[in-house]
Amino acid sequence: MKTQILRLASVVLAAALLALAFTAAPAAAFRDRDCSDFSTQAQAQRFYKKHHPRRDPHRLDADRDGLACEDLP
């Protein structure tokens, strides 16, 4: 009986850890960047060009003219 409870507890714990790993993973893989994360436009532009400029997942180019964070110096 005691071993059955222990076995059940370990299965529940494993399932919980697995669920946590799956929900935590995407957040760690994608860290959203904003223009305020860069100090110069050139720096933002380099990052923008490296990270799917057509999809612009970080939305650094709101007006879609190919230039990221125009307001930066």
Tell the residue number behind the tokens 């050139």, with chain if given: 42
Tokens (6 digits) for 51: 């990270």
Q: How far is CA 69 from CA 2, 3, 6, 31, 37, in A?
A: 62, 60, 56, 17, 10
Q: Is 67 in the site for Ca ion (CB under 5 A)?
A: yes
* Region binding Ca ion by CB under 5 A among candidate stretches 10-18, 20-28, 38-46, 55-63: 55-63
* Region binding Ca ion by CB under 5 A among candidate stretches 2-10, 16-24, 36-44, 57-65: 57-65
Among 21, 31, 63, 71, binds Ca ion (CB under 5 A): 63
